[in-house]
Structure 1
Amino acid sequence: MKKIFCLHLQKRLLDVFTSPLFWQYGVLLNKFSYSSELENNLHLKGYYNLFQETLPHLKGLLKCYISRIPGRFPAQKHQIGKLKEYYLLNAASLLPVLALDIKDGEEVLDMCAAPGGKSIAMLQCAYPGHFHCNEYDILRSRWLKQTVESFIPESLLNIITVSELDGRQIGELHPESYDKILVDAPCSNDRNWLFSSDVQQARLRLIQRKVLSAVQIQLLRSAIKALRPGGTLVYSTCTLSKAENSDVTTQILNSCSNILPVDIREMASAISHEFALASSAQQYELLVLPERGKAWGPMYIAKLKKT
């Protein structure tokens, strides 16, 4: 029976992954370039604010509009000197930001920040004392810088640092420097992998999948060194791979005596009617499973604290 259920689940996931007809997109509003006309237009098209009812404490802070009907809202082009009004994203991408729970004045690191959607979302929620956005890949770092310029006013750029460091070295370079750290790690990215028709690229991803967990563990160990005692970090991926998700966090918890899991069941319960969540997750983690009508994810999240 369990095997039949797993096969049925795999079929459902494959249907959503491989058919753009089922894909849904969230529209994250930029509070630094607010447009009531845009918000009214979204309402007219049947969109509604994802978090307004489930997480009322976010009201007015993080506005992400979604629609039950699959489809993509038109994207905005980058224009020098003009802020964009919204950012299109997979709504599950906001969950690591919610789990991190940034407060005004905190020192924050987004270790693997490109293309920048989560960084932008963090700045919708709070004003860090200093916000370090890092991206090791040079081309993706340029993308990140453009995203920051497109969404954040010049008056706030002085609190933001964009770097191109190897995340595995940040712990040594900046020991115990941050109150909150997001490690949205490089992963096998199931949605893009399964949708790709490039056989050679698919083979390359299979090879990468074997070594990614080692890199993810190294990134987390570096983040732990960079985290202040009492600080929290969120580890996230966009894969269903157990080897890259729960196996990674389990190894960190088993090998790092100064790291404890943080219970996020309350958050998981609050969002469960909008996101399909795996029932097998531990109390400190959640896994979003894409399905028709809720085509968000995959997104794995684990929250940890340094003692």
Structure 2
Amino acid sequence: MARLKRQICRVVLDYFDKTYTNELGDQWQIVREVLTTPGLWQYAVLLNNLQSSLETLNNLLVHNYHQLTHQTFPESLKCYINRNPGTFPSQRHQAGKIKAYYILNASSLLPVLALDVKHGETVLDMCAAPGGKSIALLQCATPGRLHCNEPDIHRSRWLKQTLESFVPWPHVNAISTSQLDGRLIGNVHANSYDKVLVDAPCSNDRSWLFSSDVQQAAERISQRKTLPAIQTELLRSAIHALRPGGSVVYSTCTLSQAENDAVVSNILNSCRDVVPVDLSDMANTLSHEFTFAAHVTHGLLVLPHKGKAWGPMFVSKLLKL
């Protein structure tokens, strides 16, 4: 049976046209074409180094995938991308069976790479569902402990299924899960982690454009006004959860300045024990694979373009003094 064609929600598109024309100028029309045309979307394949498969690798190469590389990439991280639109066949969850790869938007790896986890470190993925970034973290290093938190009960089940699908015994012993409100973790687990990832709940531009009905779209646009305050609380909680000398990466999958740069600015203006970390080297060395927005004050913003249809993805890193 043919898949139903996705329908663009006009209410959201009109809202984005007004907001992002003001924030991105001429760049918005280029980004708009990609976001509103799923036929242009690209997908990456992250190999599971805990369950290697030569057959999968050979299949990727036959279909003109090439490895995404960066001078700071750990050798264990093997992500393959194709310049052509389309996706690699996904694998179904089967209890007791470990998957060979994970399908994702390649820009989702940038927060993980920015976090730069080392072997033995204690790591918190504060808003972890559906689990792709947790899986990517495990491809980069073997944490002493990885705490995956997701407060939503349904998404938490999704997270646990993802971990079950990708993490074989005995690696699972280093992983714990919880359903805490991320805004409380800083108090419950103060000064406990070497690294924290806050992939914050946000106004996901790709999915919002294809909202199912006008009422849901209106609710989401109204909700958007409350998100920056929640995101700021999550990031502040993450800083409290960090040990001195630790670092936090804040990321979203929206173009919104209010949810990106403004959130980080709020933190820097109110928390004197953190400083921003320059990520320009990452942008410079990955500019052949990603399109980065100019004039982003506190991080990187990936803009979807034809042939580089990754993102949106905002990434910012802070160091706790």
Shared fold (TM-score greater than 0.5)?
yes
Map 1:288-303; keep pairs closer than 5 Å. Answer: 288-303=302-317
Match in the other structure for 1:24: 42
Aligned counterparts of 1:176 and 1:289: Cα–Cα separation in 2: 35
Map 1:35-50; keep pairs closer than 5 Å. Answer: 35-50=53-68
Aligned partner letter, 1:36? L
Residue segments in structure 2 that go unaligned for 5+ positions in a row: 1-20
Aligned counterparts of 1:112 and 1:50: Cα–Cα separation in 2: 25
Contact 1:17 1:195 in 2 (8 A): no
SS at match of 2:50: helix
Aligned positions, number: 301
CA 1:206 to 1:114, structure 2 compared with 1: closer, same or farther past 3 Å? same
Contact 1:287 1:300 in 2 (8 A): yes
Question: How far is 1:16 from its partner?
Answer: 0.8
Aligned with 2:152 (options 133, 137, 150): 137
Match in the other structure for 1:163: 178
Segment drifting more, 111-120 vs 55-64? 55-64
Aligned counterparts of 1:157 and 1:36: Cα–Cα separation in 2: 23
TM-score, structure 2 as length reference: 0.91
Question: How far is 1:46 from its partner?
Answer: 0.5
TM-score, structure 1 as length reference: 0.95
Aligned partner letter, 1:22? L
Map 1:253-264; keep pairs closer than 5 Å. Answer: 253-264=268-279
Map 1:112-261; keep pairs closer than 5 Å. Answer: 112-261=127-276
Question: How far is 1:6 from its partner?
Answer: 4.8
The RMSD of aligned alpha carbons is 1.4
Contact 2:118 2:143 in 1 (8 A): yes
CA 1:22 to 1:303, structure 2 compared with 1: closer, same or farther past 3 Å? same
Aligned counterparts of 2:162 and 2:301: Cα–Cα separation in 1: 27
Question: How far is 1:56 from its partner?
Answer: 3.8
Aligned counterparts of 1:261 and 1:125: Cα–Cα separation in 2: 23
1:270 equivalent to 2:248? Answer no
SS at match of 1:232: strand
Contact 2:73 2:113 in 1 (8 A): no
Aligned counterparts of 1:246 and 1:212: Cα–Cα separation in 2: 13
CA 1:225 to 1:63, structure 2 compared with 1: closer, same or farther past 3 Å? same
Match in the other structure for 2:4: none
SS at match of 2:317: strand
Q: Deviations over 1:145-192 (max 9, x none)?
A: 000000001201111001100000001100000000000000000111
Aligned partner letter, 2:167? I
Q: Which runs of 4+ in 1 moved over 6 A?
A: none
CA 1:138 to 1:5, structure 2 compared with 1: closer, same or farther past 3 Å? closer
Contact 2:105 2:311 in 1 (8 A): yes
Aligned partner letter, 1:298? P
Question: How far is 1:194 from its partner?
Answer: 1.3
Contact 1:134 1:162 in 2 (8 A): yes
Percent identity between matched residues is 61
Map 1:79-98; keep pairs closer than 5 Å. Answer: 79-98=94-113
Contact 1:28 1:89 in 2 (8 A): yes
SS at match of 2:305: coil
Aligned counterparts of 1:24 and 1:287: Cα–Cα separation in 2: 17
Residue segments in structure 1 that go unaligned for 5+ positions in a row: none
Aligned counterparts of 1:132 and 1:121: Cα–Cα separation in 2: 14
Aligned partner letter, 1:294? K
1:306 equivalent to 2:284? Answer no
Aligned counterparts of 1:137 and 1:11: Cα–Cα separation in 2: 35
SS at match of 2:278: coil
1:61 equivalent to 2:79? Answer no
Question: How far is 1:79 from its partner?
Answer: 0.8
Question: How far is 1:58 from its partner?
Answer: 2.6
CA 1:4 to 1:281, structure 2 compared with 1: closer, same or farther past 3 Å? closer
SS at match of 1:274: coil
Segment drifting more, 196-205 vs 105-114? 196-205
